[in-house]
C-alpha cells in the first residue's frame, strides 16, 4: 500500500482538512478519504506516515460495526469494492481508496465537539491544575493527573475552522442548539463512550477522553458521524507520541520554532509512528490490519 499525501478522485472535492479529503457523492452521500498526512502542534508535516490513513479509517469502521443497534451512524461502507459498487466512477481508482475511504450519509453537522472525559489528562489536567476548573466549571478538589472521573464529564467544545477548538459550557451548548438537542447529543456521546471504554478496557486500552461529532441526516435523525475512538484520540501511548517527542527535542535544541515549515522527519520517527498506529489497530480489534 503506497503512502498518500493527497488524493485526486473524479468526484467534487468539498473539503480538505489536515488529514482527510472529503468528496461529494450526489446530494445525500459523502466519501471521506483519510490520507497519510500527519500533523502535530497544529503543523502538517511534509512526510507521510505509511498505513496511518488505513488504520484511522478501519478502526472507525470497526467501531461503527460494533455500534450497530447502539446508536445510529453515518457509515455506509468502508470496503473498496462495496464503495465502487455504489460509486462506479471510482472503478479505476481502487488503489487510491482501498482501506482508507469510507462512504457515508451526508448530514448537517452540529457545530459542537462532544468531548467525554473519563480520566483527567492532557489539556483538561493543565486547566484543573491551574484553576481547579474544566471549561471554567469547578471540579471536585484533590484530583490527581490521570485520575478516573466518575461519572465521566461531558466537556463540549466549539468546532474551530482554524486554530484550536475552544472548550465551552453545557449551558452554552443549550444556547446554541436548544435544550432538547443539547441533551440528545450529550446522551448519545455518553452512550458511545461507555460502550467504547468498556470494550477497549477488555483489550488493555484506556480511553482517557475522546470526542464525537453528530449530524442530522436527510430524514431529520441525529446520527454519529466523523471518526470514532481512533488512535489520534485516546491515550498518547497509542498515537503520534514518537513524532511529538522528536519535535519537542527539536524545539528545545533551537532547531525549530514550532511554526510551519516543520523540520524534516528521520525515517526512524516515521517508521516508529507508523508502527504505533498499526499496534493500535491490533490492540483495539484483536487482529492484524489486512488491506
CATH number for the domain that contains residue 76: 3.30.200.20
Distance in angstroms (rounded) separating the CA atoms of residues 229 and 200: 10
pLDDT per position as a tens digit, 122-140: 778 888 999 998 777 788 8
Residue 220 has pLDDT above 80, yes or no: yes
Q: What is the pLDDT of residues 167-206, one digit of tens each?
A: 888 999 999 999 999 999 999 999 999 999 999 988 888 8
Find the CATH number of the domain harbouring 202.
3.30.470.20
Average pLDDT over residues 99-105: 98
Position 262 in a domain: no
pLDDT digits (tens, 9 = 90+) for 15-50: 999 999 999 999 999 999 999 999 988 899 999 999
Would you say 210 and 116 are in contact if contact means Cβ atoms under 8 Å apart?
Answer: yes
* pLDDT band for position 164 (cuts 50, 70, 90): low
pTM of the model: 0.90
Q: How confident is the model at residue 4 (pLDDT cuts 50, 70, 90)?
A: very high
On whether residue 255 sits in a domain, the answer given is no
Q: Do 114 and 221 share a domain, yes or no?
A: yes
By the 10 Å C-beta count (0-12 exposed, 13-18 middle, 19+ buried), 192 is classed as buried
Domain match, 184 and 92 both: no
Range of the domain at 89: 1-106
> What is the pLDDT of the chain when averaged over all its residues?
92
For residue 237, is pLDDT > 60?
A: no
Residues 189 and 167 in one domain: yes
95 has a pLDDT exceeding 70: yes
Burial grade of 161 (CB within 10 A; 0-12, 13-18, 19 or more): exposed
Q: Total domain count for the chain?
A: 2
What is residue 63's predicted lDDT score, i.e. its pLDDT?
Answer: 97
230 found inside a domain: no
CA atoms 268, 250, 206, 164: torsion sign: negative
Residue 235 has pLDDT above 80, yes or no: no
Amino acid at each position: 500500500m503506497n503512502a498518500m499525501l493527497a488524493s485526486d478522485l473524479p468526484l467534487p472535492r468539498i473539503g480538505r482538512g489536515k488529514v482527510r479529503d472529503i468528496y461529494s457523492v450526489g446530494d445525500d452521500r459523502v466519501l471521506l478519504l483519510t490520507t497519510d498526512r500527519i500533523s502535530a502542534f497544529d503543523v502538517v508535516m511534509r512526510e507521510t506516515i505509511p498505513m496511518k490513513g488505513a488504520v484511522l479509517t478501519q478502526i472507525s469502521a470497526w467501531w461503527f460495526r460494533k455500534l450497530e443497534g447502539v446508536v445510529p451512524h453515518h457509515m455506509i461502507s468502508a470496503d473498496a469494492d462495496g464503495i465502487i459498487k455504489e460509486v462506479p466512477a471510482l472503478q479505476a481508482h481502487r488503489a487510491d481508496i482501498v482501506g482508507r475511504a469510507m462512504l457515508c450519509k451526508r448530514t448537517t453537522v452540529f457545530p459542537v465537539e462532544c468531548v467525554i472525559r473519563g480520566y483527567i489528562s492532557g489539556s483538561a489536567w493543565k486547566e484543573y491544575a491551574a484553576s481547579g476548573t474544566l471549561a471554567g466549571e469547578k471540579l471536585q478538589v484533590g484530583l490527581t493527573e490521570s485520575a478516573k472521573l466518575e461519572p465521566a464529564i461531558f466537556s463540549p467544545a466549539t468546532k474551530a475552522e482554524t486554530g484550536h477548538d475552544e472548550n465551552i459550557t453545557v449551558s452554552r451548548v443549550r444556547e446554541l442548539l436548544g435544550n432538547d438537542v443539547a441533551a440528545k447529543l450529550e446522551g448519545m456521546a455518553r452512550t458511545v463512550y461507555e460502550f467504547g471504554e468498556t470494550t477497549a478496557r477488555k483489550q488493555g486500552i484506556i480511553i482517557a477522553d475522546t470526542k464525537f461529532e453528530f449530524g442530522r441526516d436527510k430524514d431529520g435523525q441525529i446520527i454519529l458521524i466523523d471518526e470514532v475512538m481512533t488512535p489520534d484520540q485516546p491515550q498518547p501511548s497509542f498515537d503520534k507520541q514518537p513524532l511529538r517527542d522528536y519535535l519537542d527535542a527539536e524545539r528545545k535544541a533551537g532547531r525549530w520554532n514550532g511554526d510551519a515549515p516543520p523540520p524534516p522527519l528521520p525515517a526512524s520517527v516515521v517508521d516508529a509512528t507508523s508502527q504505533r498506529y498499526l499496534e493500535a489497530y491490533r490492540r483495539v480489534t484483536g487482529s492484524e490490519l489486512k488491506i
